[in-house]
Amino acid sequence: MDTTLVAPIATSVVLVAVVTLTWRVVNWVWLRPKKLEKWLREQGLHGNPYRLLKLGDLTEFFIMTKEAKPRPISLSDDIAPHVLPYHHHIINKYGKKSFMWLGPTPVINIVEPELVKEVMSNHRVFQKPHTEAAKMITLGLVTYEGEKWAKHRKIINPAFHLEKLKVIFILDEYTYIPLYEQMIVQYAYQSLENMLPAIYQCCRGMMDKWEEIVSAKGSCEVDVCPYVEELSAEVIARTTLGNSSEEGRKIFELQKEKIDSTLQLMLLIHIPGWRFLPTKANKRMKQIRIEEQTLIKRIVDKREKEMKMGEVSDDDDLLRVLLESNLKEIREHGNNKSHGMSIEEVMEECKEFFFAGADTTKNLLVWTMVLLSKHPNWQACAREEVTMILHEVLRLYPPVTFIYRATIQTTKLGNMTLPAGVHLSLPTVLLHHDKETWGEDAEEFKPDRFSGGVYRAIKSQVSFLPFSWGPRICIGQNFAMIQVKMALAIILQHFSFELSPSYIHAPFPTLSLQPQFAYDVLLAG
């Protein structure tokens, strides 16, 4: 090639690359958002105009969230303006058919039950958006879509069947439990008949600590959050990894550190490629991942070796059930490993058990104690019937404050036609506090609204979705409910409690809805 042509060709290539990149950026930050805005308004939706310099609505979103966070509220207040201030603001301003902008991406608020049902039923079209935060915390069933999600769900399902949970929660025959407490455990999860759950042993440790604290004075002020967190971690470690619970506790600590770090970096993680930069935080996150993988792989390898050798193990836990289900699926397809999960995928699912399980049960138990402290008359009722109380707690304080989906293709939703790439927000908190659905007493703690069961309490099937709904409903909801029922039954047998005057009510969503400050109660034996 003539060397005199090299420079012009190189210049042309660079120019084309610059023009292409510039076009893509302009299209991403301006042309496409304005086109989508016009489309959404033609569908009868209302919202703020797209504003490039304010990153859509992100600037106002973060300002309102920051202002709401430190502001305490009354237990009788509507929590929606506090935990989802911008969602609440936009819906109040523009109505139920509204949208907002998270950067150049429009997010439609879906609060009409029939539209919620349509979104949650059609999980192949309305999928979970891929986020950097999810990649940093864990991969697994919750983050997968399509065939991979279906395969993992099928393999994991047996671990959460009630028959399997009976075995996982059973105590060994030599464990002594006073007769009256056997009756409590039996009551707390009636479908387990006379099975005695392993959570009893974990809960007894917490009871012993509380009894030691209150024994001297008869009553005492205690922040129960650290104790409940420790209890949840112990239960998850034991039921997931069995006799490897010491390693389980270490994994839980690493998970907690990883989640805390991710939340602190929430703004930065949206920058493309940020997690690959050699920052101190990224180096620590990488180190945590290595430590997690090492601990879990050691346990998985040991359990696989036992299974191959045909050894009988005392460990009958979620990991063993998961490995057995995975092996069965592979064998049913002629030992084709592509029909099962890889060891790396099994390890990710174990991490997800820790991530989702401990956080959900901890906060459900804490919020239940908060509301029973405020309504002591219901403490007595909880000793006889706990299910409707937990349903009411989940209505008022759902673990996840909103559910996020995105369209992967042009699709119909109600009488609207939505293009691919539009995000949908289903604000659980607003649905659970909607007076049109629940009545004028929607902000009140009234467990008897669930006395006839969930479906008699609601006008629409999808007005109550603490564990999501449809094909992608939380696979571990029975697991979480069993744990909390058992723990609450045993706590109520030993203690009564009321809110301390120092308690500050400020629910705030991180990965799940939790108390922002200490939960101080007056415990009495």
Identify each DSSP E strand in 287-407 by its residue range.
403-407
Neighbours of 161 (CB within 10 A): 12
Backbone angles phi, psi at 495, to 5 degrees: -140, 155
Residue with tokens 């390898």: 301
DSSP result, 435-489: HHHH-TTTTS--GGGGTT-HHHH-SSGGG--BTB-GGG--TTHHHHHHHHHHHHH
Instruction: Report how far residue 31's alpha carbon sits from residue 500's, in angstroms, rounded to the nearest whole number.
Output: 55
> Is 169:236 a contact under the CB 8 Å cutoff?
no
Contacts of 427 (CB under 8 A, 6+ apart): 80, 84, 87, 91, 109, 111, 401, 402
Q: Does 220 count as an annotated binding residue?
A: no
Distance CA 66, CA 56 (A): 17
* Main-chain dihedrals φ then ψ at residue 460, nearest 5 degrees: -130, 145
Pairing between β-strand 98-102 and β-strand 105-109 as defined by DSSP bridges: antiparallel
Residue type, position 131, single letter? T
Farthest CA pair distance, the chain: 95
Write phi, then psi, for 47 (nearest 5 degrees).
Answer: -175, 180
User: DSSP labels for 204-235?
Assistant: HHHHHHHHHHHHTTSEEEEE-HHHHHHHHHHH
Element (H, E) at 323: helix 318-332
Question: Within a 10 A sphere around the Cβ of 34, how many other Cβ atoms?
Answer: 13
Q: Which two tokens stand for residue 480?
A: 């979480």
By the 8 A CB rule, do 258 and 285 touch?
Answer: yes
DSSP 1-38: --GGGHHHHHHHHHHHHHHHHHHHHHIIIIIHHHHHHH
Rounded CA-CA distance 126/153 in Å is 18
Structure tokens at 203: 């809960």
Annotated binding site for heme: 474
Annotated binding site: 474
